[in-house]
Amino acid sequence: MASRIGGCRRPLLLLFLLSLASQTAFSWKQDEFRNCNQTPFCKRARSRKPGYCTLIADQVSISDGLLTAKLIPRPIPNQEEGGEDHHQIAKPLLLSVSIYQSGILRLKIDEDPALDPPKTRFQVPEVVVSEFDETMLWLSRVSTETLDGDSAPSSVVYLSDGYEAVLRHDPFELYVREKSSKSRLVSLNSHQLFDFEELRVKNEGEEWEERFKGHTDTRPYGPQSISFDVSFYDAEFVYGLPEHATSLALKPTKGPGVEYSEPYRLFNLDVFEYLHESPFGLYGSIPLMIAHGKTGKSSGFFWLNSAEMQIDVLAEGWNADSGLSLPSDQKRIDTLWMSEAGIVDAFFFAGLGPKDVVSQYTAVTGKPAMPQHFATAYHQCRWNYRDEEDVENVDAKFDEHDIPYDVLWLDIEHTDGKRYMTWDSVMFPHPEEMQKKLAAKGRRMVTIVDPHIKRDDNYYIHKEAAEKGYYVKDSSGKDFDGWCWPGSSSYLDVLSPEVRMWFSDKFGFDSYKGSTPSLYIWNDMNEPSVFNGPEISMPRDALHFGGVEHRELHNAYGYFYHMATSNGLVKRGDGKDRPFVLSRAFFAGTQRFGSVWTGDNTADWDHLRASVPMILTLGLSGISFSGADVGGFFGNPEPELLVRWYQLGAFYPFFRAHAHQDTKRREPWLFGERNTKLIRQAIHVRYMLLPYFYTVFRESNTTGLPVMRPLWMEFPSDDATFSNDEAFMVGSSLLVQGIYTERAKHVSVYLPGDELWYDLLSGAPYKGSQTHKLVALEDRIPAFQKAGTIIPRKDRYRRSSTQMVNDPYTLVIALNSSQAAEGELYIDDGKSFEFMQGAYIHRRFVFSNGKLTSLDLTPNNKKSKFTSQTVIERIILLGHSPGPKNALIKPGDGKVEVGLGPLVLETGLGSSSSFVTIRKPSLPVDKDWTVELV
């Protein structure tokens, strides 16, 4: 939650905070935050005209496997240096291009260290994974080509079998093109909007300061922004750039007929009561854009830069009279990228389809961590569960109402005066016992640990951090002191590896008193949120490790904090327990450390709907483990909205209910029997599908693909899916359509592809490539299994997922038009890192010609093994005509009965129809076998 208190003095501040705490209804205060016009670098860059660039790539050569060049100013005819339409760089810039396996190009542009810049510009460390560096291809050859209409030559280098990169020397431009057709894919500086403000030393009397709402930013090195244009070819839409509450396909922000007047802002902020539809930047930032078009092909662009960024998507015709010519036979989307500081460190992804691009991006920034199994189940949270008795009651009620849940969360009030990693001794006198009671039922607890540290000499964390000099400094060099929940607070300088190491040790059981092995962590307010800071955050001239200014690092602060916390949990468990850490702020690479949620949403239908494009965008940007607060954080949802939210949330990768402290209690049993039943059913659906979810999480962990996917990722050539963000896929087998309106009578759902889709719970078949108008049912939202797939389930409901470990599986085979289907099942110990040594079961199930085969997908050279005694107890065939009476099992001569049975056992959830069912085949889940219908 954010409060707006710019410039207040302490006592007033306290009064203000108290008054805030008692208020419930606020709305987004736009003028607390800067718009582009109030942000000088954005205003300048946005007002430039095409042709602004004055650069030439000079001294182009190959050196150490890279293509290198110097960018030098080009003489401007009839124009004063620094005139309004042009900006001349003072010193040549260094450019390098490197290429990597699978068609990734990296471009770097920075100041030349040999020319004595006042300091080294910031390059974000520890985002690009070391494995990626190892995939660099050593360039040894560059060819030259004179492009049509150019007088100077261009350099061409190999990128992959299908693509090559072209560095045009004069004027400077870089693009990726297809080798055979020469058609372009992605280009930079085609409109010559590139600009680079070099660092300067202030001369006497120069005025560089920037002011906003009573805050002054000293800007000691002068303006240092960078901007350029990027174009995507054969593109219908662009996607990405989380975090905004907006449509999945990004709307244009500049040019004729645009709806938004602001660029997409990437600046991690604690935005109180954010709007459900706005280009305004929220808690996290990932400067990644993916373009997709009717050819079914995708491309991507990622700028590794953690300073404030603003990105315009330019509407067709934005440069109508610029006189520039670019290929007219390719539909193009132009974009303008502007950042306050840092360097150009950009990656071009030339994928074939959307899955290739996401896999390329996650080859650079890392694959999503494999979560513990419990974390994929349902989480119950509230600000706040008051005391131990409250915790005990809530826990007991879940059992009483037969609703499974896995994790109970404690918000800030559980601490001793917001000193994190302590307990309120009156409310929580026996924290260990409390966690052990939950653990006995296979349940976990999560506590919140925020980055603001109470400046109290009696608080061990503050005392040590202050003594060791581990805090971020203000511009005068003193420990930065800002206001947050505990009052006066300082912030750990998590850019420093030493500080992160020290902080991660604080999660050890000996240090975090009252913590036990079943306790996991929630990082909140890590944008960082500073109630009395500019835009409720840290001043940009605050100083970090190595003299890095906060402006350069801002968007990655929360990332490093999340990293330290996650590493702390790994250490705490001696490297044997996968961490679970939820974070509100995020940056590129966050997927390696944990999950993310979409912050303080509101209990209304618009926010329910907005949650889908937000989670889809996170998934496209590598963060596959994310969710939105089920029920909405602010306000009190009507029971119908709450039920619909549970029904949708059951398909979010991260499924947690949460609510603001001023809202009415809303645990699932508080809205009458009927609603309790509906919520129970929604949660049961999630538990039933846990084996499928876990298998998809593993796919995500190995490939980088999202768990929750836009339809076009699975159907890249179907343009009817390109802007659909009301429906989504979970993995590649399941399609879900939310219901986003009150008292909906009908719901329309578009089912792509040529095959049938089977209703997840009734088994009813629906044709593909059609929009179906369905009756909106009270007890579910539409969800379908794609014909041709096999989904593994567990159909017995327990108190928690842990208690389901040894339960048998059901396989649901949805047959396609060739009476065939395929699917996978991944199982491991759900907890340790042993799976990385091969300790897992991974089966592929293939059904064809009336026979189901289970194949082993694990590698031969595994160092560790995982076995399981669990069996498959039921196999249901959708789309198979009744007839077969028996099934033969091999190896052995087993024969089991085939009959008709329900799709779902729970009464009320399924339909009365019956489907061909192989009963009690008791097939071992970790062995090869076949089952043949006879």
Contacts (CB under 6 A) with ligand NOJ, residues 355-374: none
CB closer to ligand NOJ out of 3 and 496: 3
57 part of the interface to ligand NOJ, by CB under 6 A: no
Contacts (CB under 6 A) with ligand NOJ, residues 628-647: 633
Min dist CB 429 to ligand NOJ, Å, is 22
**What's the token pair of residue 597?**
């949620």
- Integer Cα distance of 628 and 607 in angstroms: 9
Nearest to 771 by CA among 749, 755, 793: 749
At 391, give phi and psi (nearest 5°): -60, -45
Q: Is 162 exposed, middle or buried (0-12, 13-18, 19+ CB in 10 A)?
A: middle
Interface pattern 429-468 for ligand NOJ (x via CB under 6 A): -------------------x--------------------
194 part of the interface to ligand NOJ, by CB under 6 A: no
Min dist CB 1 to ligand NOJ, Å, is 5
Min dist CB 596 to ligand NOJ, Å, is 12
Report strand pairing: 332-339 vs 309-314: antiparallel
- Integer Cα distance of 789 and 850 in angstroms: 15
CB closer to ligand NOJ out of 409 and 587: 409
CB closer to ligand NOJ out of 339 and 523: 523
- Integer Cα distance of 583 and 613 in angstroms: 19
> Catalytic site residue 464?
no
Half-sphere exposure of 361 (CA within 13 A, CB side): 34
Measured CA angle at 340 (ends 236, 319), to 5 deg:
40
600 part of the interface to ligand NOJ, by CB under 6 A: yes
Which of the 8 DSSP states describes residue 332? E
Contacts (CB under 6 A) with ligand NOJ, residues 646-685: 658
Residue nearest to ligand NOJ (CB): 383
- Integer Cα distance of 899 and 809 in angstroms: 18
- Integer Cα distance of 826 and 502 in angstroms: 36
424 part of the interface to ligand NOJ, by CB under 6 A: no
**What's the token pair of residue 72?**
């030098």
Nearest to 66 by CA among 140, 3, 151: 140
- Integer Cα distance of 536 and 482 in angstroms: 10
411 part of the interface to ligand NOJ, by CB under 6 A: yes
At 834, give phi and psi (nearest 5°): -60, -25
CB closer to ligand NOJ out of 474 and 524: 524
CB closer to ligand NOJ out of 240 and 284: 284
412 part of the interface to ligand NOJ, by CB under 6 A: yes
Contacts (CB under 6 A) with ligand NOJ, residues 736-795: none
CB closer to ligand NOJ out of 13 and 582: 582
CB closer to ligand NOJ out of 660 and 709: 660
Per the CB < 8 A criterion, the answer to whether 631 and 656 are in contact is no
> Catalytic site residue 600?
yes
Q: How many residues form the binding site for ligand NOJ (CB under 6 A)? A: 11
**Residue the block writes with tokens 């992804």:** 349
726 part of the interface to ligand NOJ, by CB under 6 A: no
Q: Which of 600, 755, 824, 828 is catalytic?
A: 600
CB closer to ligand NOJ out of 1 and 648: 1
Q: Which of 524, 667, 699, 824 is catalytic?
A: 524
Min dist CB 583 to ligand NOJ, Å, is 11
Min dist CB 129 to ligand NOJ, Å, is 29
DSSP H helices in 22-97:
40-46
Min dist CB 524 to ligand NOJ, Å, is 5
383 part of the interface to ligand NOJ, by CB under 6 A: yes
Min dist CB 525 to ligand NOJ, Å, is 6
Min dist CB 472 to ligand NOJ, Å, is 20
**What's the token pair of residue 521?**
């962590």
243 part of the interface to ligand NOJ, by CB under 6 A: no
Contacts (CB under 6 A) with ligand NOJ, residues 107-146: none
Q: Is 829 exposed, middle or buried (0-12, 13-18, 19+ CB in 10 A)?
A: middle
Nearest to 786 by CA among 841, 715, 870, 838: 715
Length of the chain measured in residues: 934
- Integer Cα distance of 339 and 493 in angstroms: 23
Three-state DSSP state, 696: helix
Three-state DSSP state, 235: coil
Report strand pairing: 871-878 vs 809-814: parallel
At 697, give phi and psi (nearest 5°): -60, -40
> Catalytic site residue 527?
yes
Min dist CB 270 to ligand NOJ, Å, is 7
Three-state DSSP state, 777: coil
CB closer to ligand NOJ out of 309 and 659: 659
DSSP result, 57-94: EEEEEEETTEEEEEEEE-PPTT--TT-TT----SSPEE
902 part of the interface to ligand NOJ, by CB under 6 A: no
Specify the DSSP element, H or E, that contains 672. Answer: helix 672-688
Nearest to 628 by CA among 641, 613, 638: 613
Measured CA angle at 823 (ends 655, 838), to 5 deg:
80
177 part of the interface to ligand NOJ, by CB under 6 A: no
**What's the token pair of residue 835?**
């799976």
599 part of the interface to ligand NOJ, by CB under 6 A: yes
**Residue the block writes with tokens 């499924």:** 655
Min dist CB 536 to ligand NOJ, Å, is 12
524 part of the interface to ligand NOJ, by CB under 6 A: yes
586 part of the interface to ligand NOJ, by CB under 6 A: no
CB closer to ligand NOJ out of 658 and 794: 658
Specify the DSSP element, H or E, that contains 96. Answer: strand 93-100
CB closer to ligand NOJ out of 167 and 585: 585
- Integer Cα distance of 226 and 288 in angstroms: 16
- C-beta atoms surrounding 443 within 10 Å: 25
Min dist CB 419 to ligand NOJ, Å, is 14
Cα 641 from chain centre: 25
1 part of the interface to ligand NOJ, by CB under 6 A: yes
Contacts (CB under 6 A) with ligand NOJ, residues 542-581: none
CB closer to ligand NOJ out of 528 and 808: 528
**What is the sign, positive or negative, of the torsion defined by CA atoms of 462, 220, 588, 310?**
positive
CB closer to ligand NOJ out of 385 and 471: 385
Min dist CB 633 to ligand NOJ, Å, is 6
Min dist CB 534 to ligand NOJ, Å, is 19
584 part of the interface to ligand NOJ, by CB under 6 A: yes
Three-state DSSP state, 452: strand
Catalytic positions, written as ranges: 524, 527, 600
Binding site for ligand NOJ (CB under 6 A): 1, 383, 411-412, 448, 524, 584, 599-600, 633, 658
